[in-house]
Amino acid sequence: MAGDETDALIITIFLRDLSAEYGVRVMLRDENHPLAKLRSLDFVRGRLPNGLSLEDVLAKRPVIKKVEGERILFYPPAFRLHSQSPPSPEWAYALYGIRAYAPTLMEAEQEALKILRGFGHLGH
């Protein structure tokens, strides 16, 4: 996955969704998986063997994507910015001090890239 956290996450979510939709076991093995050292992942009916969801495991930190020297931070739905804040049903993303939400990671990435391009046209 060449160390790209966002690409790794999209592939991982895709495999998790396949497991959930078809009720099958899916195994992912990647010694260089860049996300939280998830070198080996098994999904059974869309859940990890210990019963947790992928988002529960990823909720501890944002996923970072670097584009044109800028960092875009993606926050899983279970991520809590403050310990007292409720989890969001959507993916959050942040760049240039702007924080917004989208229903899925792919939509969040798409919107963040639009913002990045817009700031690029402004000479930021």
Could you tell me the two tokens for 124? 């930021």
Q: How far, in Å, CA of 46 to CA of 65, rounded?
A: 25
pLDDT confidence tier of residue 124, bands split at 50, 70 and 90 = low
Q: Quick one: average pLDDT of 50-66? A: 80
pLDDT confidence tier of residue 58, bands split at 50, 70 and 90 = confident
pLDDT of residue 19: 93
pLDDT of residue 72: 92
Contacts with 96 (C-beta within 8 Å, 6 or more apart), sequence order: 70, 115, 119, 124
pTM of the model: 0.65
pLDDT of residue 3: 60
Q: What is the mean pLDDT of the chain?
A: 83
pLDDT digits (tens, 9 = 90+) for 3-53: 677 778 888 888 999 999 999 999 988 887 777 667 788 899 999 889 888
Q: How far, in Å, CA of 27 to CA of 12, rounded?
A: 10
